[in-house]
Structure 1
Amino acid sequence: MPTEDLLIDWIALLHRCGTTDDPEPYGRELLRRWSEPWRRYHTTEHLRAILRHVDDLAGHAADPDAVRLAAWFHDAVHRPDRTENEERSAALAVRALTAAGLPADRVAEVERLVLLTATHAPAPGDHNGEVLCDADLAVLGGTPEAYAAYTAAVREEYGFVPEPDFRTGRAAVLHRILALPALYRTPAAHHRLTAAARTNLTAELQRLGESDENGES
């Protein structure tokens, strides 16, 4: 799918944030990363969806552009066969945004937000973190058809993992998400997505031969 719209948005974002360098080359490098051939879910379409959800929830954020920057970097390093993807993505953000001349405090905030996507557990009152995490988890609250497409893409991305191991690991991820104090923290996402997300997650656990032992949030 064409990505020039994303590149245009990236360039505008970096200029709003006060870059002292040409943002286009690094925008193209980020899009190259998001387009790596082994990606099936963590693709430019995922990036586009996250940015769209951030725009929808931007009024809740203390620094919407910091959240947008974090969205660009949060899965910029994604190797399904490796761990520490969030840490590597955060380090990439620090290097790139520092080289672009952005203020150190904003760079630090982007780094913090990217690392937060490892747990999706922002502290109470962390409005930037709430927006990013809700945007990243919004896919869970989609229609049953959209959720099925999401789970199929995730399975394909982890196609090298044997089925029993994948089922065990996937169930652990779903239980961790369902154990969060709330699936969504922003009022808009909470009211719009929680019920559908719980239905989708519970149905997937049942397909995996598991059950949700956690109460509703």
Structure 2
Amino acid sequence: MDWPTAITRLGGDHQIAAVAWNDLETRYAEPHRRYHDLRHARAVARDSGALAVAFGLSSRERALIAVAAWTHDVVYDARPGEDEQASAAWTRDELANARVPEAEITRAEELVLSTIHHAAPDDDVLATALLDADLAILGASPEKYQEYADGVREEYSIYSDEDWRVGRATVLESLLARPRLYRSDIARARWESKARENLAGELTRWRGADPHHR
């Protein structure tokens, strides 16, 4: 679902929302972004929308997911936690400007904040659609996955290769240790197997770059 449609379905003013969209596009085009750009937001909006339809969610619920998908990385400075909080604040401000009702604003804000730890109550189906879609890249083709991994590395270029290797390996090990990467059966059937292959492959490469690893 595109931005104007989502705002309209939530009772907002689409003309005011168009101004917010211009700012959103500008932010996602910032030069330091290599993965968390508009292509990523578009992919999350597409995949979360498809999951929302598969879950049988209402038009309003699909609109809430779409808003969160478009805005969840609207502020991105490679500062985990702070970025999501700032993105949630941007979402609140712009939805309020567009005169979206408070209840809808609060729900969209909650969804954006759920991406901090990728956690939400098990019965939160809206968050499930958003969070599963946000991780869809893990189950992409090896080539697309490598583009993602390279892009994230560039976004964190402030870190040395050694510091990045250690930190990234820890993240990969943590992901692989999860009993499941995706919250929904649909997403697991679609992406889980390939995601584990991609993660394991990247972890093997980083371990191979460790001079102390045997």
TM-score > 0.5 by shorter chain: yes
Work out whether residues 66 and 110 of structure 1, in 8 Å CA contact, stay in contact via their aligned partners in 2: yes
Match of 1:53 among 38, 42, 47: 47
Structure 1 outlier segments of 4+, above 6 Å: none
2:78 matched to which residue of 1? 80
SS of alignment partner, residue 135 of structure 2: helix
Q: Which has the larger displacement, 173-182 or 67-76? A: 173-182
Superposition deviation, residue 178 in structure 1: 3.0
In the aligned structure 2, how far is the partner of 1:139 from the partner of 1:120? 15
In the aligned structure 1, how far is the partner of 2:95 from the partner of 2:161? 39
Q: Which has the larger displacement, 148-157 or 130-139? A: 148-157
Gaps of 5+ in 1: 1-5, 211-217
In the aligned structure 2, how far is the partner of 1:161 from the partner of 1:43? 20
Superposition deviation, residue 202 in structure 1: 1.2
Q: What amino acid maps onto 1:198 in structure 2? A: R
Match of 1:33 among 27, 32, 46: 27
Superposition deviation, residue 181 in structure 1: 4.6
Superposition deviation, residue 180 in structure 1: 3.9
Gaps of 5+ in 2: 209-214
1:214 matched to which residue of 2? none
1:96 matched to which residue of 2? 94
Supply the RMSD in Å over aligned alpha carbons: 1.8
Query: What is the aligned-residue identity percentage?
Result: 39
1:197 matched to which residue of 2? 195
Q: TM-score normalized by structure 1?
A: 0.87
Match of 2:141 among 140, 143, 148: 143
Work out whether residues 117 and 133 of structure 1, in 8 Å CA contact, stay in contact via their aligned partners in 2: yes
Distance 1:66 1:204, change over 3 A: same
Distance 1:76 1:164, change over 3 A: same
Work out whether residues 121 and 180 of structure 1, in 8 Å CA contact, stay in contact via their aligned partners in 2: no
Superposition deviation, residue 174 in structure 1: 2.1
Q: TM-score normalized by structure 2?
A: 0.88
